[in-house]
Amino acid sequence: MAAVFSLVLVIAAVVFVVVAAGVVYSLARYRSRGLSIIEPRQIFGSRKLELLWTVIPLAIVTGLFIVTVHAMVVIDAPQDSSRPPDLVITGHQWWWEVRYPNGVVVPWDIYIPTSRRLLARIESADVIHDFWAPNLARKMDAVPRRPAYIWLEADTPGAYAGTCSEFCGAQHAWMRFRVIAEPEQDFEAWLKIEARATPDDAPAADGRLFIEKCGQCHATVARAQSSGKGPSLAGLMTRETLGGGILRNTPENLMLWLTNPQAAKPGNRMPNTPLTAEERRALLGYLESLR
Ligand code: CUA
């Protein structure tokens, strides 16, 4: 793609120099000298000139078109799903969810191995979103019932910022995510641990309260089937932010979310759930155990 950019730049520069030189020449040659205005020779209907300024631009544009289409074929992921994707990324109002081939489902943070080109399928659960991790991949719209594919690749380990880039409702601005790129072994180890976790790993009493109050929408392990309603809370304590980046992940903000989610992120799909102060404290303790 860089080569295409350079090519376009060089051609555009040549065209600019030719046009600018013509303008400067005309200015100097035909400028008015004193009061006597001499009109230059007027030419109408020169077939040679007409052909010249039609054929040359047409040839340039056609050439650039062919080169660009070729570059698109090289850099774009195949859109026909002939190869199973390495991860499926789904946009929701207003959060992202990732599904791996071994059944692990996690929201917000997208874990990937470094130095490998991954085929990612982009989907939407509701309205049109746009997946955008500027350092790692091109933008791609997430359109309901019309999955699309992109290549996702990180050369060096690290956390890469991403966001939704298509207006999708009131909290569009807070639909951020991180792509966490890890060396292959670390990533595989993480994936294995997540795949092994079962709901039984949850601590007894608080876990039961969680299932009763929150379990209809939220899972706590990455293996569980997505409810399609709320994001899984697996690994909650490893996240930097809550609600797509709107709040930092602190105990106070978690408590705010438990007490009044609509105040924390107006319009989000989580209803205010009636909870006693004691239940809120117990749930907060339970949430803080989700690593
Ligand atoms: Cu999703 Cu904007």
- Which tens digits make up the pLDDT trace of 88-114? 999 998 889 999 988 888 888 899 999
Q: Are 233 and 218 in contact (CB under 8 A)?
A: yes
Given this model, what pLDDT does residue 223 score? 66
Given this model, what pLDDT does residue 1 score? 65
Which residues contact ligand 1 via a Cβ below 6 A? 91, 94, 129, 164, 166-168, 172, 175
Q: Are 257 and 264 in contact (CB under 8 A)?
A: yes
Lowest-pLDDT choice from 102-111, 199-208, 253-262: 199-208
Taking alpha carbons only, the member of 122, 76, 83 closest to residue 99 is: 122
Cα 207 to Cα 282: distance, rounded to the nearest angstrom: 9
Please name every residue paired with 182 in a beta bridge, in sequence order, or none if there are none. Answer: 113
% pLDDT > 90, the chain = 34
Given this model, what pLDDT does residue 204 score? 62
Given this model, what pLDDT does residue 116 score? 86
Lowest-pLDDT choice from 24-28, 78-82, 278-282: 78-82
200 or 48, higher pLDDT: 48
Q: What is the pLDDT of residues 230-244, one digit of tens each?
A: 888 877 888 888 888
Given this model, what pLDDT does residue 37 score? 65
Given this model, what pLDDT does residue 120 score? 93
Q: Are 244 and 176 in contact (CB under 8 A)?
A: yes
> Is the per-residue pLDDT at 275 higher than 80?
yes
Q: What is the pLDDT of residues 15-48, one digit of tens each?
A: 999 999 999 998 888 777 766 666 767 778 888 8
Can you tell me whether residue 13 is helix, strand or coil? helix
202 or 213, higher pLDDT: 213
> Is the per-residue pLDDT at 226 higher than 70?
no
Per-residue pLDDT, averaged over 156-170, amounts to 92
Please name every residue paired with 98 in a beta bridge, in sequence order, or none if there are none. Answer: 89, 106
Distance in Å, CA 46 to ligand 1 centroid:
55
Given this model, what pLDDT does residue 164 score? 94
Spatial CB neighbours of 164, under 8 Å, sequence gap ≥ 6? 91, 94, 96, 129, 130, 131, 132, 172, 175, 176
For the CA of 91, the nearest atom of ligand 1: 1
Per-residue pLDDT, averaged over 157-186, amounts to 92
Given this model, what pLDDT does residue 129 score? 95
Distance in Å, CA 145 to ligand 1 centroid:
16
Cα 104 to Cα 89: distance, rounded to the nearest angstrom: 12
Taking alpha carbons only, the member of 160, 156, 150 closest to residue 182 is: 156
Given this model, what pLDDT does residue 30 score? 79
User: CB 107: neighbour CB atoms within 10 A?
Assistant: 25
Cα 113 to Cα 116: distance, rounded to the nearest angstrom: 7
Closest Cα to atom 1, ligand 1: which residue?
129
Distance of CA 215 to the CA centre of its chain: 29
Per-residue pLDDT, averaged over 162-178, amounts to 91
Cα 234 to Cα 199: distance, rounded to the nearest angstrom: 10
Given this model, what pLDDT does residue 224 score? 62
Given this model, what pLDDT does residue 63 score? 92
Distance in Å, CA 107 to ligand 1 centroid:
15
Domains in the chain with CATH codes: 87-196 (2.60.40.420), 199-287 (2.60.40.420)
Given this model, what pLDDT does residue 201 score? 55
For the CA of 129, the nearest atom of ligand 1: 1
What's the mean pLDDT when you consider all of the chain? 85
Can you tell me whether residue 223 is helix, strand or coil? coil
Taking alpha carbons only, the member of 178, 291, 180, 181 closest to residue 244 is: 178
Distance in Å, CA 140 to ligand 1 centroid:
12
For the CA of 93, the nearest atom of ligand 1: 1
> Is the per-residue pLDDT at 159 higher than 60?
yes
Given this model, what pLDDT does residue 119 score? 92
The whole model's pTM is what? 0.75
Please name every residue paired with 17 in a beta bridge, in sequence order, or none if there are none. Answer: none
Spatial CB neighbours of 128, under 8 Å, sequence gap ≥ 6? 141, 142, 143, 144, 166, 168
Distance in Å, CA 93 to ligand 1 centroid:
7
Distance in Å, CA 245 to ligand 1 centroid:
13
- Strands across the sheet containing 105-107: 105-107, 95-99, 87-92, 118-124, 148-152
